[in-house]
Amino acid sequence: MKKWINYLPTLFVVLIVLSLFFYSSQGSTRTMNYTQFKEMAEDARFGDTNVSISTSIIHVDGVLQDGDSNIQYSVIIPNSEANLEWLEDTLTENGGEITVQDPNQSSIWITLLGNILPLVIIGVFFYIMFAKMGGGSSNKAFEFAKSKARVETNVKTRFRDVAGCEEEKEEVKEIIDYLRSPKKFTDMGAHIPKGILMVGPPGTGKTLLAKAVAGEANVPFFSISGSDFVEMFVGTGASRVRDMFKNAQKSAPCIVFIDEIDAVGRQRGAGMGGGNDEREQTLNQLLVEMDGMTDNIGIVVIAATNRPDVLDPALLRSGRFDRRVTVNLPDVKGRKEILEVHARNKKLASDVSLENLARRTPGFSGADLANVLNEGAILAVRNKETQITMTDLDEAIDRVMMGPAKKSKKYTEKDKMLVSYHEAGHAVIGLKLEDADMVQKVTIIPRGEAGGYNLMTPREEKYFHRKSEFIARITGLLGGRTAEEIVFGEVSAGAVNDIEQLTKIAKNMVRVYGMSSLGPIQYADPQGNVFLGRDYTQGSSYSDGVADEIDKEVRAIVDACHQQCRQILTENRDLLDLIAKNLFEHETLTNEEINNLMNYGSLEDPHAPKPEPQPEKTQPDVPPIPSKNAGVEQKDLDDALSELTKKKDV
Residue 426 assigned as binding residue: yes
DSSP 46-82: EEEEEEEE-SSEEEEEEEEEETTEEEEEEEEEE--HH
Residue 205 assigned as binding residue: yes
Residue in 289, 423, 553, 593 annotated catalytic? 423
Q: Positive or negative CA dihedral for 572, 578, 581, 582?
A: negative
Q: Residues 6 or more apart from 372 whose CB is under 8 A from it? A: 357, 361, 364, 393, 396, 397, 400
How far is Cα 425 from Cα 420, in angstroms, rounded to an integer? 9
Beta bridge partners of 71: 64
Residue 203 assigned as binding residue: yes
How far is Cα 523 from Cα 549, in angstroms, rounded to an integer? 11
Closest of 297, 302, 322, 323 to residue 213, by C-alpha: 302
Report whether 59 contacts 103 (CB < 8 A): yes
Report whether 343 contacts 297 (CB < 8 A): no
Q: How far is CA 533 from the centre of its chain?
A: 31
Residue 200 assigned as binding residue: yes
Beta bridge partners of 199: 305, 326
Identify whether 423 is a catalytic site residue: yes
Residue 422 assigned as binding residue: yes
Closest of 58, 89, 92, 91 to residue 75, by C-alpha: 58
Report whether 86 contacts 78 (CB < 8 A): no
How far is Cα 612 from Cα 45, in angstroms, rounded to an integer? 118
How far is Cα 409 from Cα 373, in angstroms, rounded to an integer? 27
**Secondary structure letter of residue 614 according to DSSP:** P
Residue 525 assigned as binding residue: no
Question: Coil, strand or helix: which one is 610?
Answer: coil
Continuous segment of H or E residues that includes residue 373:
helix 366-382
User: How deeply is 254 buried, as exposed, middle or buried, from its count of CB atoms within 10 A (0-12, 13-18, 19+)?
Assistant: buried
Q: Residues 6 or more apart from 488 whose CB is under 8 A from it? A: 418, 421
Residue 435 assigned as binding residue: no
Report whether 46 contacts 90 (CB < 8 A): yes
How far is Cα 103 from Cα 53, in angstroms, rounded to an integer? 7
Instruction: List the 299-305 sheet strands across, edge first.
Output: 150-152, 221-225, 254-259, 299-305, 195-199, 321-326
Residue 204 assigned as binding residue: yes
Q: Residues 6 or more apart from 205 whose CB is under 8 A from it? A: 162, 164, 165, 327, 365, 366, 367
**Secondary structure letter of residue 3 according to DSSP:** H
Tell me the catalytic residues: 423
Annotated binding site for Zn(2+): 422, 426, 498
Annotated binding site: 200-207, 422, 426, 498
